[in-house]
Amino acid sequence: MKSDRSDHPAFAETLKRRVLQGPGETDPALRQRVAARAAGGPPIEAPYDNLARQIGEAASGTTDAQVANVLAAVRSEKAAFELIAAAATGAALLRWERAIKALEEAGHAST
């Protein structure tokens, strides 16, 4: 029997729902587009595209200018944070899904 502590797919779904669909200063649809872009999805409107793409590729390369451009567009540090968190969540969930797939494929290959 699987315990609640190891139900990682449920945890991932809860995280996704809360960050991308939950209440916030930003429109959930924008947060979802930002997350999708960070996960390699299609380009979105400026200035969100540049920041989301960079977070998805390599968050450590994110510049002050990218953050400042988003902050200027949304006019709130909280809103800017929500979008940064959405991008990070989108990128993280993509990597997690790829890791799970690789583990499953490795498990099937060993049988």
Domain ranges in the chain are 28-109
90 or 110, which is more confident: 90
pLDDT tens for each residue of 54-84: 999 999 999 999 999 999 999 999 999 999 9
Question: Residue 2 pLDDT > 70, yes or no?
Answer: no
0.85 exceeded by the pTM?
Answer: yes
Q: How far is CA 95 from the centre of its chain?
A: 10
**Percentage with pLDDT > 70 across the chain:** 94
Question: Residue 33 pLDDT > 70, yes or no?
Answer: yes
3-state secondary structure the chain: CCCHHHCHHHHHHHHHHHHHHCCCCCCHHHHHHHHHHHCCCCCCCCCHHHHHHHHHHHHHHCCHHHHHHHHHHHCCHHHHHHHHHHHHHHHHHHHHHHHHHHHHHHHHHCC
